Amino acid sequence: MTRLKRRILSLKGLLIGLMAGLISVAFRLCLEWIDEARWYLLAFAKVHGWLSCAAIAVGMGVLIALVVVATVKYAPEAGGSGIPHLKGYLEGFYAFRAWRIILVKFFGGVIGIGSGLALGREGPTIQLGAAVAKILGDRVAPNRVERKLLISAGAGAGLAAAFNAPMAGVFFILEELQHSLNQLVLVTAFVASVTADIVCRLIMGHLPVFHVQLTSFPGIGMFPFFVVLGLFIGYLGLAFNQALLYSSKWVKSWPLRGKIALALGLGVGMGILGLVLPEVLGLGGKLTEHVLGNRVTSGMLIVYFLLRFALTMIGYSTGVPGGIFAPMLLLGALGGNFFGFCVRIVYPEASFDPTVWGVLGMVGFFAASVRAPITGTILILEMTGAYDLLLPFMIVSLCAYSIPEYYKDMPVYDALLKRDRPQKPLHQQQALEPLVSLPGESPPSESSSPPS
């Protein structure tokens, strides 16, 4: 019976991986297209005078404001990365209105991030993968336990497709969602993540997300510096978690007109900033490549870090669909590279490829913020192909992990969920707001207010 169930779940995982891979690729292609369009428009405005600049800045603000309104009115659970909502559903605190999430997450994410918000596509891709799995699970899963398993598999498949990182997708499910090494969970997650990654590679190519070519590697004598780097990045991750939690909580209490005003002001400000430093807006992929390619001076590393940190805090607090995976990795790369500059000043013998510092910073920042060190280590390994750095990755990850743990800081997604979830699980909630369901959604009696 167990063998037959594994086979059936494998087939379901295959179908979920296919669906999650396709929607993830579509989301990625749309974001890349609109990201390039924003670069072109900003360059066009710089050449054609202040009226063009003003029009583009106002246009960016209006688009972000429209996304805020659509998200608040139609599917607030699609706001932000969506991972706290997903965890809340798996724990029984929220309903999962899959069609609303897909529509708002996909189009709201493309428009919001495309308009310049310093957010990432990876969190939305995870929630989109979970949403298509929910639609399928409602039809093929015989019970709620299996439906949750399939939804977790869809989330992992979304992560795998977003980063070309199937093993990271599997460990994200085990470490962050299911907290289990159950064989059925492992098989379903593995099949779904691998299938989604194959779909992504067939359409987008098989190269790593970040093309890192290391020419030399650090020796064992550098390991004490890696310990200090991990502690340094750990404090940066702690600051990131605290700032994100408090800024989003502060704005969450605002009325809708206040959020619209914030979105308008943020969009206009980003339009003006984009005329000078367009690389700090949007996904930040080009800036990450410049940082890892060591094409950024030490002074600009600080400027970029402060700008991206502030823009991520404000952008996430608006509630627009957009994740924090990519911002965390970029901030980690900036912090790691700056630390490397300082080390080379005091210890010139550190003559290995300086890109190592940025890559290590990415691993440490993820471990400090999300508190999933295994997922973070495997994710960066698959993203960069820097497998010779496995031991330094583990050292930095462990040290960075220890700082927020010492201060009893909760993992960022757990903290966001704990702050917003209701006191009682969904089945115990008495007064629930009636909602009109779309095909494939949970019935109105399952709805509740989700986290932003």
Which of 301, 262, 259, 263 is closest to 280 using CA atoms?
301
Q: Three-state secondary structure along 217-255?
A: CCCHHHHHHHHHHHHHHHHHHHHHHHHHHHHHHHHHCCC
**Where is pLDDT greater, at 262 or 183?**
262
What would be the CATH architecture of the domain defined by 8-204?
A: Orthogonal Bundle (1.10)
Q: Is the pLDDT of residue 221 over 90?
A: no
The stretch 272-284 carries a mean pLDDT of 90
Residue 227 is predicted with a pLDDT of 95
Question: Alpha-carbon distance 369 to 299, whole Å?
Answer: 25
Residue 437 is predicted with a pLDDT of 41
Residue 354 is predicted with a pLDDT of 86
Residue 300 is predicted with a pLDDT of 94
Map out the domains of the chain as residue ranges: 8-204, 220-415
Q: 220-415: what CATH class?
A: mainly alpha
Q: How far is CA 21 from CA 47, 75, 140, 146, 285, in A?
A: 40, 23, 19, 21, 20
Q: Which residues contact 232 (CB under 8 A, 6 or more apart)?
A: 335, 339
Residue 435 is predicted with a pLDDT of 36
Q: Could you read off the pLDDT of 297-345 as tens digits, one per residue?
A: 989 999 999 999 999 999 999 989 999 988 999 999 999 999 999 998 8
Residue 420 is predicted with a pLDDT of 79
Indicate the pTM of the whole model: 0.89
Q: Crossing angle, helix 412-420 and helix 355-370, to 10 degrees?
A: 30
The stretch 129-149 carries a mean pLDDT of 89
The alpha carbon dihedral of 373, 378, 379, 383 has a sign of positive
* Tokens read off for 418: 């704990």
* Tokens read off for 288: 């990450």
Do 8-204 and 220-415 show the same overall fold? yes
Which of 185, 187, 134 is closest to 158 using CA atoms?
134
The stretch 219-246 carries a mean pLDDT of 93
Q: How far is CA 279 from CA 268, 307, 311, 399, in A?
A: 16, 11, 12, 30
Q: Could you read off the pLDDT of 395-451 as tens digits, one per residue?
A: 999 999 999 999 999 999 999 988 877 776 666 654 444 333 444 444 444 444 455
The alpha carbon dihedral of 135, 138, 140, 145 has a sign of positive
Residue 439 is predicted with a pLDDT of 41
The stretch 342-358 carries a mean pLDDT of 86
- AA letter at 82: G
The stretch 147-152 carries a mean pLDDT of 89
Residue 444 is predicted with a pLDDT of 42
Q: Could you read off the pLDDT of 51-73 as tens digits, one per residue?
A: 888 888 899 999 999 999 999 99
Q: Confirm if 159 and 125 have CB atoms less than 8 A apart.
A: yes
Q: Is the pLDDT of residue 147 over 60?
A: yes
Which of 411, 376, 324 is closest to 123 using CA atoms?
324
Which of 232, 175, 171 is closest to 360 using CA atoms?
232
Residue 109 is predicted with a pLDDT of 93
**Where is pLDDT greater, at 44 or 363?**
363
Which of 389, 416, 393 is closest to 323 using CA atoms?
416
In degrees to the nearest 10, what's the CA dihedral of 242, 243, 248, 254? Answer: 120
Question: Alpha-carbon distance 191 to 442, whole Å?
Answer: 26
Q: In 347-420, which residue ranges form alpha helices assigned H by DSSP?
A: 355-370, 373-384, 390-406, 412-420
Q: Confirm if 162 and 24 have CB atoms less than 8 A apart.
A: yes
Q: Is the pLDDT of residue 230 over 60?
A: yes
Q: Which band of pLDDT confidence, cut at 50, 70 and 90, is reported for residue 348? A: confident
Q: Scanning the structure block, which residue is given the tokens 């093993």?
A: 167
Residue 428 is predicted with a pLDDT of 61
Residue 180 is predicted with a pLDDT of 67
β partners of residue 80: 321
Question: Alpha-carbon distance 27 to 32, whole Å?
Answer: 9
Q: Mean pLDDT for the chain?
A: 86
The stretch 255-266 carries a mean pLDDT of 91
